[in-house]
Amino acid sequence: MKKRRAIFYQCGICIFVISVIGILINNLTINLIRTDLGFNFSWLFKPASFALAEHPLPYSSSDSYAWALFIGWLNSLKVIISALLLATFLGTLVGFARTGKNSLLGLISAGYITIIRQTPLLLQLMFWYFIGFLGLKENIFIHIKNIFKISNQGIEFYGLTLSSEFSALLFGLGVFTSAYIAEVIRGGILSVPRGQWEAFRSLGLSEQKGLFSIIIPQALPAIIPGLTSQYLNLAKNSTLAIAVGYSDIYAINDTIINQTGRAIECFIILLTSFLLLNLLISNSMEIINKIIIKSRKYN
Amino acid sequence: MKPIVIAKNLTKSYTKGIRALDNVSLTVNQGKVLVVMGPSGSGKSTLIRTFNGLETFDQGEIDILGIKLDCNHNERKIQRIRKRVGMVFQQFNLFPHLSILENITLAPVNVQKRHRSEAEEYGMYLLGQMGIDSHAKKYPSQLSGGEQQRVAIARALALKPELLLFDEPTSALDPERINEVLDAMRRLAKQGMTMIVVTHEIGFAKDVSDQVLFMDSGKVIETSTPDLFFSNAKHDRSRKFLNQLDKN
């Protein structure tokens, strides 16, 4: 009796899901016919005829839409990877300070985490862009012997120039994610039994040595999964680039939709790009996780 | 006789006014074994943990191997003490990600800056003394509780300490594993190691200790020789506790 009821429910759910998908596809075809666009990707190879402020590879407005999208993807990748490194660095520092013995540092890092986690990312991006970088004077804000320069033009470091849009996005995403990473690291450290701290302390090991040789290796298995999900969030949050005018894949898609009306195709491209990007991130983290587990010779 | 530990009027209170330590004084001379007994929550663990700086205290002073600590004792002094005092915990607290030998050589190599080969050689000697040198390459989780605790003793001995602290070293062990650890401790006592042992093992206390200290509610109820304490305890509270232990 029970089994028959289970089959009945499952059939019901199947029919429901299939009908919803059917309705969506039906809507889509009707609308595509109405706008007389059809569903194809041949427009990708027409000239984009819009300029891009930032392009890591050569680009001009006579290049194709496909090339513009690829440049956007590279721009996204560039900001995601740099913000990921910044967030990990800051987050680790703050996480250590939060769990450390120094109560002043602990208080400061707790304040940092609270303020950053309690305010919207969009607001923080605006802050970094309009107040952080554009708010700077036109003449140079910090200038150290042609090595390091911060102004409203962005950051210059040994001939490497970062635009103010990129810098704002880098700091916005990096600082925002670092607060979450700090909590992941703190959680990992707290998951190690107190006895381990007492054991290394009673052997005369310094706090630093104990943290790196005893606590961190045991905390890593608890840290990696949380870190992965923060990295994935960072990648997805990078689409807020549009708010500060940085030409990431989402911003370029938006421009293309406005020009061509190819919303469906563009969204498919966008979804696929992010799927690929995040699969890349989560698979790399999975590999790191496996290496760590393999290097553990204990259970 | 050279005193190794002199504690004077140690007092520690928790926030609600409960005293973990209430005016505790004691002296342990070189080569002597002090056994600390008492019901749970009597402050005996807190007491020995103050001797290597794992616990702070509010009043009183401690002199360990000539290094004086007061209630605002600084990190540097504690660090100096920890290099000369070994500790063995109830839950062993071995480092699970390091092999048995690495557990033992960690402190000699990093704290005393000894050569790895020299530290390993001495580590193997200590494991031999504990009868577990065949396990040197294994990891803690592959060993039984009794074996793990003997590794913990070897680890505490690796810095050639002048004082060993034992915090209920057999309380987490299966009954049939207790003796292998107690035997190792007996041998250490015979070799002249100064030890402070928190334990409920009456047999060990009778055989090995020079002095028994009985605590309740953070206070020292009585201090006497094991003969006197176990045959004719002065205080009602001590006799009550011993009766209870006998029944178990």
A201 → closest Cβ in B82, B94, B155: B82
The backbone torsions φ and ψ at residue B207, rounded to the nearest 5 degrees and listed phi first, read: -75, -45
Q: Strand runs (DSSP E) across chain B, as ranges? A: 3-13, 19-29, 33-37, 59-64, 67-69, 85-88, 163-167, 195-198, 211-216, 219-224
CB contact under 8 A, B106 and A298: no
pLDDT at A142: 67
Q: Is A198 on the interface with B (CB under 8 A)?
A: yes
Length of chain B, please? 248
CA distance B194 to B211: 12
Tokens of B73: 């004792």
The per-residue pLDDT for B183 is 93
Assess whether pLDDT exceeds 60 at residue A164: yes
Q: Which residue of chain B comes nearest to A295, CA vs CA?
A: B97
CATH for the stretch B1-84+169-248:
3.40.50.300
pLDDT value at residue A218? 92
Q: A21-56, pLDDT tens digit by residue?
A: 999 988 888 887 887 777 788 888 988 888 888 888
> Each residue of A85-108: pLDDT tens digit?
999 999 999 999 998 878 899 999
CB contact under 8 A, B95 and A297: no
Q: Which residues contact B49 (CB under 8 A, 6 or more apart)?
A: B55, B165, B167
Contacts A196 to B, Cβ<8 Å = 93, 95
pLDDT digits (tens, 9 = 90+) for A171-229: 999 999 999 999 999 999 999 999 999 999 999 999 999 999 999 999 998 999 999 99
> Chain B residue with minimal CA distance to A219?
B97
Q: What is the ipTM of this complex?
A: 0.93
CB contact under 8 A, B93 and A209: no
Residue of B nearest to A217 (CA): B97
Q: Chain B within 8 Å of A117 (Cβ-Cβ)?
A: no
Among candidates B54, B107, B139 on the partner chain, residue whose Cβ is nearest the Cβ of A205: B107
Is A204's CB within 8 Å of B83's CB? Answer: yes
pLDDT number for residue A183: 96
Looking from the CA of B137 toward its CB, the CA atoms found within 13 Å total: 1
Quote the CA–CA distance of B191 and B142 in Å, as a whole number.
30
pLDDT of A137 reads: 66
User: What are the residue boundaries of the structural domains of chain A, listed by start?
Assistant: 1-36, 40-295
In this prediction, residue A140 carries a pLDDT of: 61
For residue A262, the model assigns a pLDDT of 86
Q: Is the pLDDT of residue A297 over 70?
A: no
Q: Within 10 A of B91 (CB to CB), how many other CB atoms are there?
A: 18
Work out the minimum CA distance from B51 to partner chain A, whole angstroms: 10
Tokens 């540092």 appear where? A105
Regions of chain B short of the pLDDT cut 50: none
Sheet holding A154-157, edge to edge: A142-144, A148-151, A154-157, A160-162
Q: Quick check: B96 and A214 CB within 8 A?
A: no
CATH of A40-295, picked from 3.30.390.30, 3.40.50.880, 3.40.309.10, 1.10.3720.10, is: 1.10.3720.10
Query: Side-chain half-sphere of A15: how many Cα atoms within 13 Å?
Result: 6
Quick one: pLDDT at residue B248?
67
- pLDDT tens for each residue of A110-138: 999 999 999 999 999 999 888 877 777 66
Question: CB–CB of B154/B123 below 8 Å?
Answer: yes
> Considering chain A, what percentage of its residues have pLDDT values greater than 70?
95
Average pLDDT score, chain A? 89
Compare A159 and B67 and report the one with higher pLDDT: B67
- Give the gap in angstroms from C-alpha A267 to the nearest C-alpha of chain B: 47
Report whether pLDDT(A299) > 60: no
Beta-carbon contacts of A102 under 8 Å, excluding residues fewer than 6 positions away, are none
Q: Cβ–Cβ of A196/B111 closer than 8 Å?
A: no
Does residue A155 carry a pLDDT above 60?
Answer: yes
User: For the packed helices A216-237 and A263-295, what is the interaxial angle rounded to 10 degrees?
Assistant: 170
A297/B99 CB distance under 8 A = yes
Are A202 and B141 a contacting pair at CB < 8 A? Answer: no
Contacts (Cβ under 8 Å, ≥6 apart) of A214: A192, A196, A197, A199, A200, A205, B95
User: What is the pLDDT, as a whole number, of residue A279?
Assistant: 93
Query: Environment class of residue A9 by beta-carbon count within 10 Å: exposed (0-12), middle (13-18) or buried (19+)?
Result: exposed
The mean per-residue pLDDT over the stretch A266-274 comes to 91
Tell me the residues of B at the A interface, defined by beta carbons under 8 Å apart.
Answer: 52-54, 79, 82-83, 85-87, 89, 91, 93-97, 99, 106-107, 110-111, 139-142, 155-156, 159
User: Are B59 and B9 within 8 A, CB to CB?
Assistant: yes
Boundaries of CATH 3.40.50.300 in chain B?
1-84+169-248
Put simply, the answer to whether A296 touches B91 (Cβ < 8 Å) is no
Is B79–A204 a contact, with Cβ atoms under 8 angstroms apart?
A: yes
